Structure 1
Amino acid sequence: MTQPLRFESADADGRGLEEVMEKVSHGDKNAFTILYDAVASTVFGIAVKVLRDPSQSEEVAQEVMIDLWRQAARYRPEQGSVRTWVATIAHRRAVDRVRSAQASANREQATAVRDQMRPFDEVAEEVETRLDSEQVRRCMRGLTELQREAVTLAYYRGLTYREVAATLRAPLATVKTRMRDGLIRLRDCMGVTT
Structure 2
Amino acid sequence: MFLATWQEATSFDTARGTALAWLLVRARRRAIDRVRSSQATRDRDTLAGFRDLEVSRDDVAEKAETLIEHHRVTTTMKALTAPQREALELTYFGGYTQSEAAAKAGVPIGTMKTRIRDALIALRKLTAEPRPAWS
- TM norm structure 2: 0.53
**How many residues of Structure 1 are paired with residues of Structure 2 in the alignment?**
77
Question: Superposition pairs for residues 116-135 of structure 1, below 5 Å?
Answer: 119-135=56-72
Match of 1:191 in 2: 128
Among residues 87, 90, 97, which one is paired with 1:150 in the alignment?
A: 87
Query: What SS is found at the alignment partner of 1:123?
Result: helix
State the distance in 1 between where 2:100 and 2:83 align.
Answer: 14
Q: CA RMSD in A?
A: 1.9
For residues 57-96 of structure 1, the aligned pairs below 5 Å read none
The aligned runs of 1:103-114 (5 Å cut-off) are none
1:157-168 matches, within 5 Å, as 157-168=94-105
AA partner of residue 163 (structure 1): E
What is the CA distance between 1:122 and its match in structure 2? 0.8
| 1:166 Cα deviation from its structure 2 partner | 0.3
Q: 2: CA distance between counterparts of 1:131 and 1:188?
A: 19
* 1:1-54 Cα deviation digits (max 9, x unpaired): xxxxxxxxxxxxxxxxxxxxxxxxxxxxxxxxxxxxxxxxxxxxxxxxxxxxxx
Q: Give the distance between the partners of 2:125 and 2:62, measured in 1 at CA.
A: 24
Q: Does 1:138 align with 2:75?
A: yes
- Find the structure with the greater CA-based Rg: 1
Q: TM-score, normalised by structure 1?
A: 0.38
- Uncovered stretches (5+) of structure 1, i.e. residues with no partner: 1-113
After superposition, residues 171-186 of structure 1 pair within 5 angstroms as 171-186=108-123
